[in-house]
Every structure is written in C-alpha cells, then in structure tokens.
Amino acid sequence: MLLLLTTTDVSNSSIHTNHSTESPTLQNGHLPSTVLILTLFILTLLFLCAYLLRFQVQQKHLVSTLQHKAPQGLLEDQDQTVVLLPRSLSPSQRFLPIPCSSLEEEYRRRAADESKLFREEYNSLPCVLSCCGAFEASREENRDKNRYPNILPNDHSRVRLSPVDGIPCSDYINASYIHEKCCQYWPNQGSCRYGRVCVTLQQASVLVDYTIRKLSLQSQGGDGCRETRMVTQMHFTGWPDFGVPFSPISTLRFLKRVRNSNPPRSGPITVHCSAGVGRTGTFIVIDAMLDMMQEEQRVDVFGFVSRIRQQRPLLVQTEMQYEFIYKAVLEHHLYGDTELDILSLKSRQLRLCNMHSKLTEVRIMKENMRTGNLSANLRKNRVLQIIPYDFNRVILSIKRGQEFTDYINASFIDGYRQRDYFIATQAPLSHTVEDFWRMVWERKSHSIIMLTELQERGQEKCVQYWADEGSVCYGEFSVELTGEVECDSFSLRDLLLTHSAESRLVRHFQFHWPEMGPPLDGRGMIDMISAVQRHQEQIGHTSAIVHCSAGAGRTGVFIAVCILVERLQAEGRLDIFQTTKSLRLQRPHMVQTLVRIYTHSYNWVNSIDSE
C-alpha cells in the first residue's frame, strides 16, 4: 500500500510540475512536498533492499536443504516429520472460513498447480513441536552423518554404537529404535488380562475397509467389586501405509458408522493411530467439519487445525492429510448421505435416479492407463475406451524371453468384506484366451461369472473359452467340461483346469442376459448371486472373475448388486450411489446404462425383501 500510494503521489507531482508555471513553488508549498516524497521514496528503497537481502539468505538455506532430495515415500504417524517445502514467509497468514456454496470452487482452486495453494495453507499452520531432544544428532561432529538436516534421531531412542577410542562422538549413527505401530490390546478370541482389566472379545465383523469388535471389559477395584462394561472398537484398516486413502468414500462411511455406534450420554470417543497425530487429527477434523457444515453452512479447516494444535502438537501431520480433509468434506457436500434402509428404498428411488447423473463427474484417469495403451498391448483390448488402471490392474507373470506378456485387460475390484474380491475383465479375444486362463490359474480363482452370450444381435461378444464336451488346450492349459446344469436364468458348468500335471476345479456361471436392456426380473440374478456366494464360501473366497463383453457395463451391475445384497443382509442398509461411484473409481465406465440399470438395481434388491 505504501509503495502504491507513493507511486501515485510521485506521478501526480510530476504531472503537476510539467504543467505548472515558472512562478516560485515555495509559495504554493510544493517544495516541502517534493522533499517529503523523495524521503519516503528513499526509505522505501532501503526497505526493499533489506527485504531482498533477507529473501536471498532464505533462498540459500532452501537450496542447501533441497540438495539432499527427499525420498518419494512420506513419513507419517512417526515422531519425525519431513518438511519437503519451506514454511510460508508469512506463517501468521489467516485463511478465512469457506461458505459451503463456494467449497467446490475453492477446492479446485487450491488443488491447481499440483496443490500449490494447499501447501501454502498447510505451511501457514502454527507448528507446535514436542520437547523430544536431539542434542547428540545436532553436535557439530555429527552433522555430516545426517543425510537430511531435519530428520534427526531423538536422544532417548537413538541407536548407540560402540565408541572408538580417540574419536569423539563415534557412538553416533542416524538411526532410531522404533516400537511397533500399535501393540494389540485385545484378544483375537476369548479373554486376555491387562493388569486389573480383563478384556473379552464378544463379536468381530470384518469388512473390506474396517473391522468392528464388541469387547467386554471387566475391572476389579481395590474393594473386590467387579464392574463390567461393553466397548465397541472400530478399527479402520483401509488407510494405506503411506499417504492417504485414494477416495474418501470409505472414510466417510466409517465415520458415519462410528457416530451411529456411539450411544447417547457416553464418554468421549477415544481415537488413536500410532503417534496419535496424523491419521487421528485427520479423522477428528473431518468429523468436526461435517458438524460445522450442518450448523453454520461453512467450513474452517485452517482455523480448527490451528486451535487443536494447541491441545496436541502436530495434529494433521502432512500436506496430503490436510488436502484429504478438504476432499472428504467436499465429497459430503456434493453428494450428502445417500445411504438407504429398506423402508425408504422405494420413496427415495426417483431422487437417487436423478442424482445418478452426477456419476458422470467421476473423472476417467487416462494418465493411469499407460500399460494398456502401449502399442504391444492395444490389440489385447476389446474396447479401447475401457482399459484398466495401472494401480489395480491384474499383472500376469512374464513369459520367459517374451516382453509385454504380463498384461491382460482386467482390474481388481473390492467386495463388501474383502479387498480384491472380484476381478472385472473383458470377454477373451481369440488371441487372449490363454492369458485369460493364465489369470485364472495364477490368481487361484475357482469362480467365473459370464454375463453375455457368445453372439448377440449378430455380433461376436465373446470367444468360447471352454469345450462343449471333452477337453481343449489353450497353450499350456487344458480345460475339460466335467458337468453342466441348466437353471431357470443361468447355466452352471464345472470345468477342470490342468497345468503342469496339476488340476483345479473351476465353476462357470453364465447368466442369460437379454440382448436388449437389463433383465426384467431380478429374481434370476439374485438366485445366481446366492449360488456364487455358496461356492465362494466352500472354496475359500479367492477372487471371483466377472466378465461381460467389454468388462464394464453388465460386469459393473453384477458386482454392484453383489455388494448391495451382502450389505443389505448384514446391515439392513445399502448405498447404490456410492457403491457405483466406488466401482467407477476402480475401473472406467462401470455400470454404463445409468438410469435403466440403476432402476433395475432397486428391483433386484426389492426382490430380496419380497421373500
């Protein structure tokens, strides 16, 4: 402001001088004004020089720090942190709350340029550090032994070498003893005593992203009286070792389950990760922001994190966690709560069908399709628009001496209780049948679900990859038909797959999908899902392979209905919108015919309730 005003004053003065007469300026008071302006201008120059000098010193320090490039992996939930970028030059900068109406726009603005504004906002947070000392690591004699100047072992947990005579500080190495992330404090079965407290596992329910345990706690006091209390432990297992979850869908679903499980008038919810700052802080902030959205129609992530860091240092430990908070809050703002119970299934069907158009907003991540788009692999794709993402594609073993033999158009898909429970793939082509059976063999799959006919409307949809009778060989694999049963809406075949003198039984389920549109009755689909579930339970829940022609439309519908049915049976609730959205994040174009398939998904689920 001072520089701008000075520039304006100088400009106006110059113009005035150019158009003034030759009369003395002392009488008009112009000379003192000129002296004042020049004085302010000189002071401004001195201020700028001092600022630039300070900035150069900071830049030299930054270059010195960045000469040692940080590793790609992120350290989280540890006592040490890696500051990959310098702190903001104005750490006291205040970021104002964001109205809900502007949340999406603000998120996209902050996420632009590789999340540059998110980094600036995160680095402006107050940094309240713990008092753990690293005196030995900071000694002048030991500085050259530290690869990174800001990653130093604490004195109380550093590894001590045997000292070498005559060499000071020779017992130092940049290494720390690390405890396990969390000591298990509950029994896997039965009871276990921890001091005066006896913990008994009453029930455990394992889902794909979290586990729910019912624990009975019995404490014996000094007077001999025993008090028993029930505690619900919600164990979120969907957080990766490094970074943050790929999508906030599972985190929000878990948070809702936590809220619903906490009885009224109970004590505070205990939240922990390893160090109790990174994931713990992220979870707490998301929970608080959802409440703020509802009560105040705005969010204040920066202000809330700043406050809680005064209560516990380093809560929300990394920039990725900070950005993930915004991502989760935006997800809730855009889509809200789309869960349904059985009673509200029909009443909210129309509203959710209209909401289904939002699924087109799920971005197709073409940058993660590099392997399938390699020239050597393009001919292995039936539809060039449906290519698996690199992060969850099925990788085959490479044939000796043959490049590019690890690719097949197939994606791992999470089920309701188990990660990678399904493999979504396209129908085999004539030159990929052996790859298909290699995948079945290497993944130890015992169930194949086929959702197409070999030909539909005069066009090939799938190459036959089994024998009508006897056996047939595909490269190193032999496939023999050992039995076939025709049910009302699907065919069931038992196939004996043999490789290197070892044989396995594979059950083949073929649902007779109509050539035009979805099935009119959901009963047949539910019957086949039940048959698949029974078979999977018998053989040990290895990945079930599901395919239609392109491996997206009908395949996505079948997997979605499987997840919905299993959740409805277990919880009495379902979420068609988020289930479908989650599938699209794992494989492009899953559930292609949006409204019609969406409507029939309800019909299939309703057929369960009509029993």
Q: Give 163-168 contacts, CB < 8 A, sequence gap 24+.
A: 168/141
What is the predicted pLDDT for the residue at 179?
A: 63
Burial class (CB in 10 A: 0-12, 13-18, 19+), 492: middle
Among residues 169, 225, 548, 562, the one annotated as catalytic is: 548
| Percent over 90 (pLDDT), the chain | 57
Mean pLDDT of 127-140: 75
Model confidence at 18: pLDDT above 70: no
The Cα 10–Cα 1 span in angstroms is: 14
* Ramachandran region, residue 477 (left: φ > 0; alpha: ψ -120 to 50; beta: rest): beta
Model confidence at 115: pLDDT above 90: yes
What is the predicted pLDDT for the residue at 75?
A: 38
What is the predicted pLDDT for the residue at 174?
A: 86
User: Which residues touch 284 (CB under 8 Å, ≥6 apart)?
Assistant: 271, 308, 315
CA 44 to chain centre: 50
Which phi and psi angles does 395 have, rounded to 5°? -105, 120
Degrees, nearest 5: CA angle 543-573-346: 115
**Segment (H or E) for 600:** helix 594-609
What is the predicted pLDDT for the residue at 27?
A: 43
273 is catalytic: yes
**DSSP designation for 144:** G
Answer for the pair 544, 449: CB distance below 8 angstroms, yes or no. Answer: yes
486, β-bridge pairs: 491
Longest alpha-carbon distance in the chain:
117
pLDDT tens for each residue of 324-343: 999 999 999 999 998 888 77
What is the predicted pLDDT for the residue at 560?
A: 92
The Cα 465–Cα 389 span in angstroms is: 25
What is the predicted pLDDT for the residue at 226?
A: 81
What is the predicted pLDDT for the residue at 467?
A: 93
Side-chain half-sphere exposure of 267, counting CA atoms within 13 A: 6
Mean pLDDT of 517-531: 83
490, β-bridge pairs: 511
Mean pLDDT of 439-443: 98
pTM of the model: 0.76
**CA end-to-end span of the chain:** 74
User: Which residues touch 59 (CB under 8 Å, ≥6 apart)?
Assistant: none
pLDDT tens for each residue of 458-509: 999 999 999 999 999 999 999 999 999 999 889 999 999 999 999 999 999 9
The Cα 424–Cα 412 span in angstroms is: 6
Which phi and psi angles does 370 have, rounded to 5°? -65, -45
* Ramachandran region, residue 136 (left: φ > 0; alpha: ψ -120 to 50; beta: rest): alpha
- Name which of 322, 317, 313, 242 is nearest 286 in CA terms: 322
- Name which of 585, 523, 515 is nearest 554 in CA terms: 515
Answer for the pair 509, 532: CB distance below 8 angstroms, yes or no. Answer: yes
Instruction: Identify the band that residue 245 occupies on the pLDDT scale cut at 50, 70 and 90.
Output: very high
For residue 214, the tally of other CB atoms under 10 A from its CB is 15
Q: Which of 29-43, 125-139, 221-235 is least confident?
A: 29-43
Highest mean pLDDT among 23-37, 149-163, 533-547: 533-547
- Name which of 466, 469, 491, 464 is nearest 479 in CA terms: 466
Mean pLDDT, the chain, integer: 83
548 is catalytic: yes
Decide: helix, strand or coil at residue 159. Answer: strand
Q: Which of 132-136, 274-278, 324-328 is least confident?
A: 132-136
User: Which residues touch 472 (CB under 8 Å, ≥6 apart)?
Assistant: 466, 478, 479, 480
**DSSP designation for 427:** P
Model confidence at 12: pLDDT above 70: no
Among residues 182, 198, 273, 353, the one annotated as catalytic is: 273
Degrees, nearest 5: CA angle 97-103-105: 120
Mean pLDDT of 407-411: 98
Lookup result for tokens 């070892």 = 502
pLDDT tens for each residue of 363-372: 899 999 999 9
| 573-574 vs 340-341, strand pairing mode | antiparallel
The Cα 248–Cα 392 span in angstroms is: 17
